């Protein structure tokens, strides 16, 4: 799964960035 691959390693630090959270979850929030 690409999801797990992205979440592993630097993914954790990326998720800490609110800007990235908007990119990943923004679509769901907007919808």
Reading the chain (31 residues) residue by residue, the pLDDT tens digits are: 555 655 555 656 666 777 777 777 776 655 5
Look at residue 22 in the predicted model and tell me its pLDDT: 79
Place of tokens 């799964």: 1
| pTM of the complete model | 0.30
Q: What share of the chain is helix, strand, coil (3-state, %, to 5)?
A: 75, 0, 25
Look at residue 25 in the predicted model and tell me its pLDDT: 75
Is the CB of residue 15 less than 8 Å from the CB of residue 7? yes
Look at residue 19 in the predicted model and tell me its pLDDT: 79
Q: Residue 11 in 3-state DSSP? A: helix
8: domain range? Answer: 1-31
Number of domains in the chain: 1
């Amino acid at each position: 799964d690409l999801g797990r691959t992205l979440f592993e390693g630097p993914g954790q630090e990326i998720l800490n960035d609110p800007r990235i959270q908007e990119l990943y979850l923004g679509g769901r929030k907007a919808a």
